[in-house]
Amino acid sequence: MIRVKICGLTREVDVETAVQAGADALGMVFAPSPRQVTVKQAKMIIKNAPPQVLRVGVFVDQDPKWIMRVMHEVGMDRIQLHGHESQKVMRLFSRFRVIRSLRPTAMSIVPKKDPAPAAGALLVDAFVPGQAGGTGKPSNWKYAKGLKRFGKPVILSGGLNPQNVSEAIRRVRPAMVDVSSGVEVQPGIKNASKIRQFIRRVQEG
């Protein structure tokens, strides 16, 4: 079964909708972004989420000590590094099974060696100059499929929505799909109907 992560959550009501619809992971952005949340907000947003649903903290080139404090204080299960963090930095967070975000261009070729050996999973997002994620643009699906050769879970992100997620799953067969803008009314504000439809399409998949 392909799992689902609903990312960029900023409201408790959207977390409730995602959980009820069958989401496997909830993502919250702690980096500068239209979807950024504070530690206080994050704790409130996920306070009633069941323990079996993964809590993922998203960071972009931020101070490792501060990141570690946030992860512990909020009670996050996974860390998603979306910037240019080194392998050394990733190893600091090995206990959280790092999700390394990659943003290949349309012309990128899958490397011969694992691009992030210190990471527990590889996430493929769209490449948009100057933006770390949440752009609504499609990612390089062929590249994502190629990453499976390294034996790690591959998470497909970038421009997914209820209309194209079935095709994405058919072409890539990722371990997980990650959606943010594709189920939103505006940045950080989710549409309950779109969340349910997206997850249903994945489950039918």
Q: 101: part of which helix (H) or strand (E)?
A: strand 99-102
CA distances from 54 to 82, 88, 137 (A): 18, 24, 25
CA distance 2 to 44: 28
CA distance 203 to 2: 7
* Residues taking part in catalysis: 7, 125
CA distance 52 to 153: 18
Helix (H), strand (E) counts: the chain: 7, 10
Q: What is the dihedral of CA 98, 104, 110, 113, to 10 degrees?
A: -40
Q: What's the distance, CA 141 to chain centroid?
A: 15
CA distance 152 to 120: 7
User: Which amino acid would we find at residue 114?
Assistant: D
CA distance 192 to 183: 8
